[in-house]
Structure 1
């Protein structure tokens, strides 16, 4: 883990243009490139962004057949308790054949889970667990987000939780092809992860994009929660999938 940037002042003693501290986690080989997380802190030590960076080549050389996807766990650099980030680790999933529901998410894409729970809590989410599938209190569910129809226990994904989507703001539920979306996951009646899902085709299009999303009114783990996701293509051909514009909960 290393700091990528240092707080710096530019221009004849001026205090303007402060460059935020940026810390990166350990990189993992993905395809013909690498993936890593980074965290940016503002001058007041509060988070300004948390992101996954895919280096040039990461979209190539990926598995083409993997029924349950390929999982890459990424650590988050230690940035100190004062930052207030609620995230514990990140899991990048490559799904070469997509996944259910059929006709919506069954196209090659990445799931990027920013987990608010620990590795051990995540691993303990067992198939068919009624406790793990328990519904969270209404004020812990972001406005406009809903679980799949039917019993929650039937929608529980082992090692993840129940995925809540926003049908009114996600274009894939409005007759358009899936390109990118934002999902919330719950387990044991609390938020387990925030998940951007993005197709490889969209990332290959080199389109910079962003969107806002709602956050819960209440959380089990106090901290700074993002309200915006972005996809940014950099000059070195790396790609950043960013969560930022934090609010305190």
Structure 2
């Protein structure tokens, strides 16, 4: 493991990057919101072609101080959202959610039963995400969809909404939906310190059978400590509810000069919307919101001090 230093955050703004000379691409990098994580920081960024303005990549930078996070499985998750820089508006993504989880919550030992960081690149606005299981009770520290809300999340995805062959995950989660993984992808495990451990893997989340809510990149702490230079292709759905630039690969890399880690969506390609969101999601937002607010007030009245600490 590399020596850990606490680094100050680079001031937010524009960093001009000259790549190569005559026929090389020139790009400008823009930083978004920055928030503390462990003894370090996480911040969002986007890189634009300096001539055309086309987004080239989108991601999150983690300073090296994020690694000494608590690994005791009694510790709660650390979760927060990062806004993207305004220059990222041409991409399909609206915000990023960072979640640090010291353990797995399914009750079954898997490769995910390790300290890890999830970087959720959300395709929905915060207001749209609030409509996904707005009344989900906290079960084993996760807002887990129940009843009719669970049934809505577990609707069979419409053809093309997910890349072919993706399989359903385990927990239908509030503000996320249900995760789907690619079972044909290479097993995201490597020998780290003599033990087979999770490296990095991506997954999608779906809501209401036709709404893609996020693209999630999961990376273990142990893999970050190896100072990786890892890139993997991303399979894209054929049916999309909104136009924008979508990634064709992602990477998890370490920059020895800045002593930072980058989780990056790259190969951004413009894709036109191929379907319209269902009326049940768009036209029903107002009624669903009122129902959610009323239920939320009732839950707060009944909530115990212990349960309120699990949010």
Give me the TM-score of the superposition, normalised by structure 2: 0.70
Of 131-140 and 237-246, the range deviating more from structure 2: 131-140
Per the alignment, do residues 98 and 146 of structure 1 end up closer, same or farther by CA in structure 2, a change over 3 Å counting? Answer: same
Higher helix share: 2
Aligned counterpart, 2:29: 22
CA displacement at 1:17 relative to structure 2? 3.8
- Quote the Cα distance in structure 1 between the aligned partners of 2:40 and 2:198: 25
Residues 66-119 of structure 1 deviation map (CA, whole Å, 9 limit, x = unaligned):
5652102111000165xx201010001000113435323111111110000111
Aligned counterpart, 1:213: 234
CA RMSD between the two structures: 2.5
After TM superposition, list the pairs within 5 Å mapping 1:48-87 onto structure 2: 48-62=56-70, 64-65=72-73, 69-79=77-87, 81=89, 84-87=90-93
Match of residue 95, structure 1, among 92, 101, 112:
101
- Quote the Cα distance in structure 2 between the aligned partners of 1:24 and 1:136: 35
State whether residues 209 and 231 of structure 1, in contact with CA within 8 Å, keep that contact through their aligned partners in structure 2.
yes
Give me the TM-score of the superposition, normalised by structure 1: 0.86
Runs of 4 or more, structure 1, over 6 Å off, are 7-11
Aligned counterpart, 1:162: 178
- Quote the Cα distance in structure 1 between the aligned partners of 2:127 and 2:264: 25
- Quote the Cα distance in structure 1 between the aligned partners of 2:175 and 2:214: 11
Task: Confirm whether residue 34 of structure 1 aligns to residue 41 of structure 2.
Answer: yes
Unaligned runs of 5+ in 2: 1-10, 134-144, 190-195, 272-311
Per the alignment, do residues 236 and 172 of structure 1 end up closer, same or farther by CA in structure 2, a change over 3 Å counting? Answer: closer
Task: Confirm whether residue 247 of structure 1 aligns to residue 269 of structure 2.
Answer: yes
Aligned counterpart, 2:52: 44
Higher radius of gyration, 1 or 2? 2
Aligned counterpart, 1:199: 220
Per the alignment, do residues 99 and 147 of structure 1 end up closer, same or farther by CA in structure 2, a change over 3 Å counting? Answer: same
Q: Helix, strand or coil: the match of 1:57? A: helix
- Quote the Cα distance in structure 2 between the aligned partners of 1:66 and 1:246: 39
- Quote the Cα distance in structure 2 between the aligned partners of 1:195 and 1:164: 10
Per the alignment, do residues 78 and 162 of structure 1 end up closer, same or farther by CA in structure 2, a change over 3 Å counting? Answer: same
Aligned counterpart, 2:305: none
Task: Confirm whether residue 236 of structure 1 aligns to residue 258 of structure 2.
Answer: yes
- Quote the Cα distance in structure 2 between the aligned partners of 1:55 and 1:144: 36
- Quote the Cα distance in structure 2 between the aligned partners of 1:9 and 1:231: 20
State whether residues 147 and 164 of structure 1, in contact with CA within 8 Å, keep that contact through their aligned partners in structure 2.
yes
- Quote the Cα distance in structure 1 between the aligned partners of 2:235 and 2:33: 30
Task: Confirm whether residue 114 of structure 1 aligns to residue 114 of structure 2.
Answer: no
